[in-house]
Every structure is written in structure tokens, then in C-alpha cells.
Amino acid sequence: MSDLTNEIQRRRTFAIISHPDAGKTTLTEKLLLFGGAIHVAGAVKSNKIKKTATSDWMEIEKQRGISVATSVMGFEYEGYKVNILDTPGHQDFAEDTYRTLTAVDSVIIVVDIAKGVEQQTRKLMEVCRMRKTPVIVFVNKMDRDGIDPFDLLDELEQELKINIRPLSWPIDMGFNFKGVYNIYEEKLDLYTPSKQIVTESVEFKDIDSPELEKHIGEKLSQKLRTDLELIKGVYPDFDVNTYLKGDIAPVFFGSALNNFGVKELLNCFVRIAPSPRPIQAEERSVTPETDPFSGFIFKIHANMDPNHRSCIAFLKICSGQFERNQNYKHVRFGKVMKFSSPTAFMAQKKETVDEAFAGDIIGLPDTGNFKIGDTLTSGEDLHFKGLPSFSPEMFKYIENADPMKSKQLNKGIDQLMDEGVAQLFTNQFNGRKIIGTVGQLQFEVIQYRLLHEYGAQCKWEPINLYKACWIESDSNEALENFKKRKYQYMAKDKEGRDVFLADSSYVLQMAQQDFKDIRFHFSSEW
């Protein structure tokens, strides 16, 4: 096996997704702890521990205690190179998460035992199903009382519309939680509540052995044996290929906060999760090991370092090997670029890398050359697809609150919109700028970041809009006619495309009826 093939096959790139508060960031942190990438647990929540890397690093995230941007982190574990993308769970930032799912090979879904499957998780699972992304479920917070595990498994199957197979099984829960039986490795993992130490595990191939009673008592031993029999009878045997096709999801139980069940999840994950897979470009299918370098930008982040007004474009490498200071083709511009300081991340801490391989995610310094969806290659014209922007649901006019700072405001809006935080439309009738988002919280984030990162103050003014639709037509005449008739409602997006701003569903329906030659799109990718 060549070195390149070997490097690519040991890559595991995945995203952790869930509803807010299911414990996603805590799980990420514990995985980093086992990977030796951080040394103190509790670093995310505590402000005292400054020396540790964490995944929630933007100022507003620390204040709110929620993740609003996807963080990328990499570490080595047992010969594998693991790349984690921790995504925001809050639905106002769903768009960032949808785009992140295009850059990963598999997904871990975190579910809270007390709350079960929540709406946001369902939506994200739809994206995974659409892309056939393999999924592992981690049921968290077993040290609290919650839904009966069998009922939860039924709910997972119904709500996520996927077959599942438990690979570990809880022994009681809440205050009486004793641990889990690890079906995948045939061992008993006993639980001691502690945030810093990892619990003991005992090899247990024969579940009928009377030794079991010594560890968990008679009543729980009988229940465990009955449960495992039932699992064997009801659920299909676990088959790695079915998992890789996205048709079955293994389920693990644990408590991330107490370090429990996380190592078992990681051990199984690195063995069964897919290495980078072929990716479909518009021109052809791109294979990770055999093709020359190619990759696409799936995220842009302004101000990773507040001292330098720089943006970082996150590049997912799809094939081959990336090398520092090599010439690569920026396909949209048709020009050659080279990068002297590409970086790899451990949350906010970044280091320059000399090389990276398919499956890795690297940061490229960006001075406005990139937008989401751009492709870099060794020379071939490739276009990767599947990075949509959805039609926003909330709109406000953005106004400058400090006339002395209009330059800063414009630069800030430009950079934040390039990040894909929200969408900018310029009204053709009065020239005013309208920001469209998927959720209310994004307006606060934009206002906060404009002030703290660009020194610009903005204020919001209400506007009554129902939907923004991109429009196109085969007939120029029909398009011009529509724009004349609806000139008060016409805007341009950041790429200069025509957008119709409908102020009610009735207006939109009438427009669709009256103008048969116009096609209305609700996502910007067509």
C-alpha cells in the first residue's frame, strides 16, 4: 500500500450533531481528552482554565454557553487521524450545520436520554439520509432518569427513519446507573461518577457466568441477560457494510460529562467508520486515493484571531495530497494560487501544516478570494456540488448607527455574509440593505460581532417579508417584464442574482400563477 493510500485510509472525518443541550460539546471535549489533545476536562464551561483548547471559543459563545460556529479539531488516536467537526445545535444556525455535513464522511448523533429525539435532530438526519452518510447514535446523560432504553430505540427508528442496533446496553439509569455492557467488545464497563477518571471495565464473554452477580447484583444481572436476549431476537446482527451504506445505525449509551461510555464509542468508531469516500463532482466522481489534489471550501470564518482582521476559509480535501507553497488552481477565478501558511486546528489554536491528505480539513488565509463552494485543484476544472443556501425566513433592514464608521460596517457585513452566517439582499427600489436569516438569534450574533470585531454599530429596522426567492427564466423578455411589474419587491443577492422578495404567501402564489415563464427557487443552488 502506498504511503498516500495509507495516510488517507487512516483518516476519520466526522461531525457531531444534536439538539441544543444534548451534550454535544461535552462529548467533543471528552473525545479530545481521550485523544490526548486536551488535558483537563471541563474546559468548555470553565473560564478559569485558559490553557486548554476548547471548541466554543467565540466571545459570544462563552457568554451564551452555546456553540454558534462549527469548530474543527484534529487528533491522533491508536494509529488513526481523527478530525471532528463540532456543529451548533441551536436551530438558528442550522445552515452552518447543513454545510458542514457536506464535508464529513460520517456522523455521530447525540440524543439526551430524558428528551429523546428532538426536531432539530430529525432535520439533520434528513440531510444524512439524503447523502447516505453513515450514522452512530450516542445516548447521553444515562446518569439521569429518562426514557426506557427499549422505548428510546423505537423512537429512534421511527423519528430518524433508520434501522438501529445497540452495541452497548445500559444497566439501570439515573441514580442507580451501574454502567453498560459493551456488546461490541463483550465486556462489562462499570460506572463510577467522576469527571476526571475513566471507569474500570471487565472482560465478559460469557454473560451467563455467575461472576456477573458479583459485579452488579442478582436482580440487575437477570434483567441484563433478558435484555440482551431480547436485543438478539429483535434487532438484526450488526454488519459493518450495512452501516457504511447508511442503512443501520449502531447505538451506544453513556454519560459524556462523567467520561462514561465515550472511550468505547471512540474505539468502535475508529474501527468501523469510513475513511474518506469518493465524492461526486459535476464533471465526474473523484476518488480520494488515486486522483490528484482537489478540495472545496465549505465554510469561511472571519476573525479567528481578533488581533488580525483576517478570514480563514476551511477547505475539505477530497482527493490526493495538499502541500504548502505548491501552486493550485482556483477554479472559479481560473487563476493559480499558492499558500504559505495553511493551518490545522485544535479549536482556536492553530499550527501551520506542510502537508495534508484527503479527509483532512485545513484553514487557508483568505483576503476575499474565496466564497463557499469554491474548488481548488491541481489544475483540473472540477466543481463540487451540494452546498446550498436556503431561503431565509426572517428579514430586517440593516442601518448604520454611526456614520463615521460606514467603511467598517460595510467590510464587516461583507465578511460575515461570506461566512454564510446570513444572506444579504440589496433592494433595487430604494438601495437599502436587507439581511435574511434562518433564526432570530443570528441578528444578535451579527450585531455583536460587528461591534466587537469591526468596531461598527448597526441597528435593525423591521421589514414585512414572507420569503426571498431566486428567479430565472428562459425568456429575457419575461424576466424583464416581471422585474418591471414587481420593481418594488426586487433585490439582488451578494452574487448579483435576481431575488424576488414576496411579502406574503398570497403574493407569492399569485406571482407563480401569473408569470408562468418564471421559475422560482427556494435555495440558491440550482
Residue 432: what pLDDT? 92
In this predicted structure, the answer to whether residue 130 has a pLDDT above a threshold of 50 is yes
Residue 328: what pLDDT? 92
Residue 69: what pLDDT? 45
CA 199 vs CA 107, 189, 262: distances in Å = 26, 7, 11
- Vertex 91, ends 130 and 507: CA angle to 5°? 85
Out of 212-226, 383-397, 431-445, pick the least confident: 383-397
Confidence class for position 17, pLDDT limits 50, 70, 90: confident
Residue 510 backbone dihedrals phi, psi, to 5 degrees: -65, -40
Check: CB of residue 104 under 8 Å from CB of residue 16.
no
Give the span between the Cα atoms of 72 and 362, in whole angstroms. 9
AA letter at 399: E
Give the span between the Cα atoms of 260 and 143, in whole angstroms. 9
pLDDT digits (tens, 9 = 90+) for 70-119: 467 788 888 899 888 866 544 544 566 677 778 889 999 999 898 888 77
In this predicted structure, the answer to whether residue 36 has a pLDDT above a threshold of 70 is no
Residue 195: what pLDDT? 53
The mean of the pLDDT values for the chain is 81
In this predicted structure, the answer to whether residue 384 has a pLDDT above a threshold of 60 is yes
Give the span between the Cα atoms of 444 and 478, in whole angstroms. 39
Check: CB of residue 442 under 8 Å from CB of residue 378.
no
Confidence class for position 171, pLDDT limits 50, 70, 90: confident
| Domains of the chain in sequence order | 3-272 (3.40.50.300), 280-377 (3.40.50.300), 394-521 (3.30.70.3280)
Confidence class for position 68, pLDDT limits 50, 70, 90: very low
Which of 466, 297, 441, 436 lies closest to 366, judged by CA? 297
Residue where the block lists cell 481548488: 376
User: Residues with Cβ < 8 Å from 103, sequence gap 6 or more?
Assistant: 13, 15, 85, 298, 299, 314, 316, 361
Which of 240, 222, 526 lies closest to 388, judged by CA? 526
More confident residue, 186 or 48: 186
Confidence class for position 433, pLDDT limits 50, 70, 90: very high
Give the span between the Cα atoms of 522 and 526, in whole angstroms. 10
Q: What is the mean pLDDT of residues 271-290?
A: 88
Residue where the block lists cell 445545535: 89
In this predicted structure, the answer to whether residue 482 has a pLDDT above a threshold of 90 is yes
Residue 490: what pLDDT? 93
Task: Please give the torsion angle defined by the CA atoms of residues 66, 68, 70 and 73, in that order, rounded to the nearest 10 degrees.
Answer: -40
pLDDT digits (tens, 9 = 90+) for 294-341: 999 888 776 555 555 567 788 889 999 999 889 999 998 888 998 888
Residue 241: what pLDDT? 93
Q: What is the mean pLDDT of residues 50-72?
A: 48
More confident residue, 340 or 32: 340
Confidence class for position 199, pLDDT limits 50, 70, 90: low
Q: What is the mean pLDDT of residues 187-201?
A: 67
DSSP letter at 523 equals: B
